[in-house]
């Protein structure tokens, strides 16, 4: 069976901007259905998946993922008419009764027919008979459980909101997802984190990872008591309660003004504006938020692990892109195995919706998962791009091929404290650069954080960088259970005290590091590079950050890679056997 999974609500951003033309930039993502993506599954096998933003350059877009759909179909040499099922990662029609006060908006933005109409306007035929809506949290759960390879597990979904719920607990076995618990949006832990992100002057539903990074610089003691009053765990029911006052969540599209006022009073702290300098009080607030967020998730997961007796854990939803919390969850004594979907945001529901319907149809599902599902480019294609890009003399290049000398040359550049771009194979699905579209540097390079943040990425100076580390060297440098999330940069670890000097560039202010453990079976080319790094640096570890600049999606194609390389302070670009430099 040929199943196309899609995510996003194509009219949502447009409707939000029309209704709120004066909205601040940090409030532009206060709407549903962003991070649109497409995924193709044939006979239970994941063939391709990609987010629409990578093709258009519009970061986090929720537009109908036509470019991503086209990519998926071209990968399998298919036409739209060949698709048997179109799976969508929302099922708002099932909850129409909850939206009676905005029926017109519901039809235009949230309903299945709005997505069907968008596909028809794009030239697709006979869409409605093939269209299947999947509950948002079921799609998230399926994206984690059916890719984990586990025969049974506790599966938890937490995000800002689905259709009407914000956190759902499933017991998964075989092809069944049995719902055990659900929480309404008013008790959304993800929404609390996003509102507090906005309170700190960062973009809602976009910059939560910045708050997580900022937290390491603060001491949350002064704000913990207030946070503990606001958000609590109920040990009798296994639920999280957020004690917002009445109407605190009203006028959301305007930036949650009532919630901002409430937080101001509760914490005796004014909301930060986007252009205001960050101070100790902001870091302290972030630290308290991160502490409470982590503690609440830890309590909830421990409760349901004990209740079900499960020892395998599957996680999805935006909350589980918080790698600090994930470390605590992976370290729970009862957790023997853990899998976090690398595309845990709403892009992953394209994958999950398709997998869920494949499972229901009895399709033979793959037991493993690779996040490398995006486009790749031939040597001939890259050579043509290089000819065009270098015609004005601004770039030089030569072709080495994927030889030992090629990998050794790149490793030597890293050892010499140069900053390189690394572009190979299929693009990653999900927000993390995992060694195919990466910027790399020496793990203890001279002022390496400041150089990459300021001269390469043009982003905030407090932002940390992650290490990619060979599996055989991980225990020498980091303290970690090395469960599956560490393969995908989804779980922090402690930097060993005696290794701090060797990896100072990837050690965050609190002594943690968001590790990516690299093995030959997961990414052979990246493994070959780090093996060469080991020979010249004494360990197979480097800085690994996404190949992009602030505000730009992860780079997908050679032409964008070359244009970006030309414009920023990178020393060398290594691309499918080509070595590119600036004369």
The verdict on residue 371 lying in a domain is no
Average pLDDT, the chain: 97
Count of CB atoms situated within 10 Å of the CB of 122 = 14
Could you tell me if residue 169 is inside a domain? Answer: no
Q: pLDDT confidence of 366, banded at 50, 70, 90?
A: confident
Same domain, 571 and 423: yes
Return the pLDDT at 295.
98
State whether 202 and 272 are in the same domain: yes
pLDDT digits (tens, 9 = 90+) for 85-128: 999 999 999 999 988 767 788 999 999 999 999 999 999 999 99
Domain count, the chain: 3
Q: DSSP code of 107?
A: I
Contact 15, 105 (CB under 8 A): yes
333 with 350, same domain?
A: no
Same domain membership, residue 573 and residue 468: yes
Residue-number span of the structural domain to which 232 is assigned: 182-339
Single pTM value for the model: 0.97
Say yes or no: 153 and 202 in one domain.
Answer: no
The answer to whether residues 91 and 121 belong to one domain is yes
Residues 123 and 202 in one domain: no
Residue 333, φ and ψ in degrees, nearest 5: -55, -30
Question: Do residue 355 and residue 403 come from a single domain?
Answer: no
Q: Is the pLDDT of residue 403 over 80?
A: yes
Domain-embedded: residue 370: no
Segment 528-566, tens digit of pLDDT: 999 999 999 999 999 999 999 999 999 999 999 999 999
Q: Under a CB-based contact definition with an 8 Å cutoff, are residues 207 and 195 in contact?
A: no
CATH number of the CATH domain containing 326 = 3.30.420.40
The CA distance from 422 to 419, in Å, is: 10
Rounded alpha-carbon distances, angstroms, from residue 576 to 312, 317, 563: 38, 33, 17
In this structure, what is the dihedral angle of CA atoms 62, 66, 71, 76, given to the nearest 10 degrees?
Answer: 120
Q: Write out pLDDT tens, residues 288-339.
A: 999 999 999 999 999 999 999 999 999 999 999 999 999 999 999 999 999 9
The reply to whether 149 and 186 lie within a common domain is no
pLDDT per position as a tens digit, 162-186: 999 999 999 999 999 999 999 999 9
Residue-wise over 366-376: b if at least 16 C-beta within 10 A, else e? beebebbbbbe
Q: Which residue has the higher pLDDT, 369 or 102?
A: 369
Round to whole Å and give the CA distance between 561 and 568.
11
Task: Give the pair of three-digit tokens for residue 42.
Answer: 């044939």
Domain membership of residue 494 (yes or no) is: yes
Residue at 366 is within a domain: no
Residue 479: CATH number of its domain: 3.90.870.20
The rounded distance, in Å, linking the Cα atoms of 516 and 435 is 9
Better-scored residue on pLDDT, 103 or 351: 351
Q: Give the pLDDT score at 156.
A: 98
Tens of pLDDT, residue by residue over 442-482, are 999 999 999 999 999 999 999 999 999 999 999 999 999 99
Are residues 325 and 410 part of one domain? no
Split at pLDDT 50, 70, 90, the class of 413 is very high
Same domain? For 60 and 115 the reply is yes
Residues 66 and 138 in one domain: yes
Kindly state the helix (H) or strand (E) to which residue 522 belongs, with its residue range.
Answer: none
């Amino acid at each position: 069976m040929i199943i196309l999974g899609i995510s996003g609500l194509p009219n949502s951003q447009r409707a939000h901007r029309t209704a709120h033309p004066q909205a601040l930039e940090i409030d532009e993502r206060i709407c549903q259905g962003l991070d649109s993506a497409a995924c193709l599954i044939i006979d239970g096998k994941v063939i391709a998946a990609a987010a629409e933003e990578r093709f258009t350059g519009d970061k986090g877009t929720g537009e109908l993922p036509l470019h991503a759909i086209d990519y998926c179909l071209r990968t399998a040499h298919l036409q739209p008419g060949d698709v048997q099922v179109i799976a969508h990662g929302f099922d708002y029609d099932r909850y129409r009764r909850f939206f009676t006060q905005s029926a017109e908006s519901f039809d235009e933005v949230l309903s299945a027919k709005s997505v069907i109409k968008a596909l028809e306007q794009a030239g697709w035929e006979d869409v409605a008979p093939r269209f299947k809506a999947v509950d948002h949290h079921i799609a998230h759960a399926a994206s984690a459980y059916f890719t984990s390879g586990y025969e049974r597990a506790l599966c938890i979904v937490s995000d800002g909101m689905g259709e009407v719920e914000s956190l759902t607990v499933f017991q998964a076995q075989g092809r069944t997802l049995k719902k055990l618990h659900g929480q309404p949006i008013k008790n959304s832990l993800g929404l609390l984190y996003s509102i507090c992100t906005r309170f700190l002057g960062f973009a809602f539903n976009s910059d939560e990872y910045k708050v997580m990074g900022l937290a390491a610089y603060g001491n949350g003691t002064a704000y913990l008591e207030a946070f503990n009053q606001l958000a609590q765990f109920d040990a009798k029911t296994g639920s999280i309660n957020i004690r917002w006052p009445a109407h605190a969540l009203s006028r959301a599209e305007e930036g949650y003004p009532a919630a901002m006022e409430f937080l101001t009073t509760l914490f005796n702290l004014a909301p930060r504006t986007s252009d205001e300098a960050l101070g100790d009080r902001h870091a302290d607030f972030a630290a308290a938020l991160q502490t409470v967020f982590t503690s609440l998730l830890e309590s909830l997961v421990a409760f349901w692990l004990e209740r079900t007796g499960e020892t395998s854990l599957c996680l999805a939803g935006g909350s589980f892109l918080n790698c600090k919390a994930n470390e605590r969850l992976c370290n729970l004594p009862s957790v023997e195995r853990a899998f976090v979907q690398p595309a845990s945001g709403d892009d992953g529901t394209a994958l999950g919706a398709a997998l869920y319907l494949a499972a229901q149809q009895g399709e033979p599902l793959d037991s493993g998962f690779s996040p490398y599902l995006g486009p790749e480019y031939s040597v001939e294609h890259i050579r043509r791009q290089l000819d065009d890009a270098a015609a004005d003399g601004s770039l030089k290049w030569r072709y080495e091929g994927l030889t030992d000398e090629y990998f050794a040359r790149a490793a030597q550049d890293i050892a010499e404290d140069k900053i390189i771009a690394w572009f190979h194979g299929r693009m990653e699905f999900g927000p993390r650069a995992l060694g195919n579209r990466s910027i790399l540097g020496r793990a203890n390079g001279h002022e390496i954080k400041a150089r990459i943040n300021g001269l390469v990425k043009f982003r905030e100076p407090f932002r940390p960088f992650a290490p990619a580390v060979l599996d055989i060297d991980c225990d020498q440098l980091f303290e970690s259970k090395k469960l599956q999330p560490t393969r995908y940069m989804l779980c922090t670890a402690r930097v060993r005290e005696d290794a701090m000097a060797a990896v100072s560039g990837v050690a965050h202010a609190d002594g943690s590091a968001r590790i990516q453990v690299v093995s030959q079976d997961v990414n052979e080319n990246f493994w070959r590079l780090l093996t060469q790094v080991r020979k010249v640096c004494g360990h197979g570890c480097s800085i690994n950050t996404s190949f992009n600049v602030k505000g730009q999606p992860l780079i997908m194609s050679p032409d964008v890679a070359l244009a970006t390389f030309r414009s920023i302070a990178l020393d060398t670009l290594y691309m499918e056997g080509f070595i590119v430099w600036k004369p």
